[in-house]
Amino acid sequence: MSTRSSLPGSLCTLLLSWLVLVPASAREGWHDTFASAQTAAAKSGHHVFLCFTGKEWSAVCRQFEEHFFSDPAFTNILRAHFEPVQLDVSAFRNVSGKEDEPLPEAAQLKLQFEVATFPTVFLLGPNGRPYAVTGFRPGGPESYGKHLDKLREKHAQQEALLARAKQSTGVRRAELLAQAIPDIGSMRMAQFYGDLMREVVKLDPENATGFARDFELKLGDHDYVKAMREMERDVRWSDMLKLTDEYIAKYELTGSELQAALMNRFDIVRRQRDLSEMVLTLDQVFRINPYNPHGRQAQQFLATMAKQMEEQSLLESLQIQE
């Protein structure tokens, strides 16, 4: 007896086309857009499970897909507390925000959430702010579900601190607010919790909590990076150099923080082809601390430049002799 399909060829072609066109995120229980997940969360009271993947070039993302997202049991675990959405940004790996054409939602969100590694998972509360950042973890759906439960419990504790802060004033309020802000990376903290961080800075001018100075630097760094990106897009090297020098002076940067800012400065003067400023800036980075990553990087640049200058000098000397 023949086992060949009795479906007409045209119908088989139609079915295959449908399978290709339907996005992976359209699987049952998952939302196909972030906006859809947010709308559903507002109705259900659930949190949002937002995952960025790059399945075309990341083996770990493909593992995540195969062992978790494609498993209905994992979807059921998620659906108990989350509205899940997966965004494959394989096509937007190198987007920078400088593109002339408007970017699709997935690419815009990749930039907004400062996603640089894949897969990256964000958990967002009812207020739309991310409160945890995680990713792929081996161990199966149940183990991952327990991991998410712990993150939700920590978020509940943070919400309790915010509630207590509403009943407090002064430095005590600043301390409670600071403890309620999740550590999701400096840029994300400033972007999503900037209002709370600025309040802590205002309430605690003497840095009695130990958080105010750190928050002030994170907020300043966020504003600096944002402005630098806009200037870079318009190729405004001189403005970038001026802003960097002002940033260093305003926040009185020292140590590794100063080194990081100076390495930004080096990148700008390098694009301006200002050799003397390049050498002076790298030398300053090296002198602050020659042994940390910034210091070693500066030393490597100085050695490379010295070799290039020596080779250029030798070449010019030979040309003169000829």
pLDDT by residue (tens digit) across 169-203?
999 999 999 999 999 999 999 999 999 999 999 99
pTM (two decimals):
0.83
Phi/psi at 97 (5° precision): 90, 0
Same domain, 27 and 143: yes
Mean pLDDT of all residues in 248-254: 96
* Distance of alpha carbon 65 from alpha carbon 74, whole angstroms: 11
Whose tokens are 């050695």? That residue is 303
Same domain, 46 and 142: yes
What is residue 1's predicted lDDT score, i.e. its pLDDT? 38
Domain end call among 91, 119, 150: 150
Same domain, 31 and 137: yes
Phi/psi at 94 (5° precision): -110, 20
Q: Is 235 left (phi over 0), alpha (psi -120 to 50) or beta?
A: left
Phi/psi at 120 (5° precision): -125, 130
DSSP of 84-116: EEEEE-GGGTT--S--SSPPPHHHHHHHHTT--
6 in helix, strand or coil? coil
Domain end call among 150, 169, 193: 150
Closest to 185 (Cα-Cα) out of 105, 129, 113, 96 = 113
β-strand pairing of 130-134 with 47-53: unpaired
Share of the chain above pLDDT 90, in %: 76
At CA 226, angle to CA 221 and CA 232, rounded to 5?
Answer: 120
What is residue 102's predicted lDDT score, i.e. its pLDDT? 84
What is residue 320's predicted lDDT score, i.e. its pLDDT? 67
Same domain, 142 and 239: no
Q: Is residue 155 part of a domain?
A: no
Quick check: 75 and 31 in contact, CB under 8 A? no
pLDDT at 115 over 70: yes
Reported confidence tier of residue 20, pLDDT bands at 50, 70, 90: very low
Same domain, 133 and 37: yes
Domain end call among 129, 150, 171: 150
Same domain, 139 and 46: yes
Whose tokens are 């400033």? That residue is 190
DSSP of 163-205: HHHHT--HHHHHHHHHHHS--S-HHHHHHHHHHHHHHHHHH-T
Is the link from the previous residue into 119 a cis peptide, with omega within 30 of 0?
yes
* Distance of alpha carbon 186 from alpha carbon 116, whole angstroms: 14
Q: What is the pLDDT of residues 54-91, one digit of tens each?
A: 989 999 999 999 999 999 999 999 999 999 999 999 88
* Distance of alpha carbon 249 from alpha carbon 266, whole angstroms: 16
**Domain containing 276: what range?**
235-305
Mean pLDDT of the chain: 89
- Find the Cα–Cα–Cα–Cα dihedral 245, 251, 254, 257, rounded to 10°: -80
Closest to 222 (Cα-Cα) out of 252, 247, 240 = 247
Same domain, 143 and 262: no
* Distance of alpha carbon 264 from alpha carbon 85, whole angstroms: 36
pLDDT at 321 over 90: no
Q: Token pair of 134, please?
A: 């995680």
Q: Give me the CATH number covering residue 66.
A: 3.40.30.10
Phi/psi at 73 (5° precision): -65, -40
31 in helix, strand or coil? strand
Q: Is residue 294 part of a domain?
A: yes
Q: Is residue 205 part of a domain?
A: no
* Distance of alpha carbon 82 from alpha carbon 104, whole angstroms: 24
pLDDT at 26 over 50: yes
* Distance of alpha carbon 189 from alpha carbon 107, whole angstroms: 20
Q: Is residue 65 part of a domain?
A: yes
How many C-beta atoms lie closer than 10 Å to residue 200's C-beta?
A: 28
β-strand pairing of 120-124 with 47-53: antiparallel
**How many separate domains does the chain show?**
2
* Distance of alpha carbon 224 from alpha carbon 242, whole angstroms: 11
Amino acid at position 109, single letter: L
